[in-house]
Structure 1
């Protein structure tokens, strides 16, 4: 399991101010209405935070804790890449995501504790990665054969309906809809059970 820090000192809460309060504090300090120490007593915003926001001009609270081994920007890129793979029907499983993270870190020259023997990120990293990116989840994919995926194109679909029209006309069924039965191969799936994949929570995944 990933190493997750559990704060024991709850007597002094962290980041109790809102973005709006921070903007108000910075504005009042800049105009000289109050000092940084007065702002700290009144709004519970530490003077160093006020000074930093005045210097950098950023009034948004950052996330607590480290960014992760890859960093937030690179993790966002990895999430986007995972989504692109899902869109084309090749959603990565957990092992593949760990491999992608390892190769990503190696290519960018990022120092990491990943396993060079397996060329994969650690399981602890994967759990933390999913915690930091709640739009991703581990889901069970549905089976879809490659031939069926390739067969769903405009030309094959057109040919199918031409053959259907020909069969209905030849057998005199165009005016007898009660004699037409629609059937499929549900329950006759010949594919192996697909593995669980990492994808966005709203996505419906099929594995070829």
Structure 2
């Protein structure tokens, strides 16, 4: 299962302050109006956070924790690629997504902990990836029976659409789609 840090019951919620509170607290501390401790009490921004933000000059609240193996932009590109595969009829299964992630990281030269032996990302990464991207639905593909595969070939499909065109033209339904019913 994915390595996911779960806060214990005694842990307090983290980063409950807003960007505005941080900016006000930093301005007051930098002008010397109040100390970091007083800013912490008044604006609910931890003193160490104030010190770090003043030193770095970064006053925007970002995501908690480290960035993922693939950053957000690259993950978005991978999700778009998976969607394109699905649209053209090649919906990838879990194993394929893991392989795609490995190849994607290799191609971009991103340092990763994925297995070079199997050339796949791990199961933990896959589960976290799917949690971060709930619009994806990776399922096991269903098999197509031999008779269905043989029954639908290019020649049969061409004959079907020629016959459909002939029937619609003969009955004057080509410009009247509202008169066509599925039986």
TM > 0.5 fold call = yes
- Relative to structure 1, is the Cα distance of residues 163 and 60 closer, same or farther in structure 2, using a 3 angstrom cutoff? same
How many residue pairs were aligned? 181
**Structure 2: which 5+ residue stretches go unaligned?**
none
Whichever structure has more strand as a proportion of its residues is 1
Counterpart of 2:102?
102
Offset, 1:155: 16
Offset, 1:153: 16
Give the TM-score taking structure 1 as reference length.
0.59
Offset, 1:33: 3.7
Contact 2:93 2:140 (8 Å CA) reproduced: no
- Relative to structure 1, is the Cα distance of residues 124 and 166 closer, same or farther in structure 2, using a 3 angstrom cutoff? closer
**Structure 1: which 5+ residue stretches go unaligned?**
182-208
Structure 1 stretches of 4+ moved >4 Å: 54-58, 139-166, 168-181
Distance 1:110 1:175 in 2: 55
Higher-RCO chain (CA-CA 8 Å, sequence separation at least 6): 1
Give the TM-score taking structure 2 as reference length.
0.66
Contact 2:92 2:138 (8 Å CA) reproduced: no
Q: Deviations over 1:101-158 (max 9, x none)?
A: 1112222333333222221111111001122333434357799999999999999999
Which secondary structure state, in structure 2, belongs to the residue aligned with residue 136 of structure 1?
coil
Offset, 1:58: 4.3
Moved more, 115-124 or 147-156: 147-156
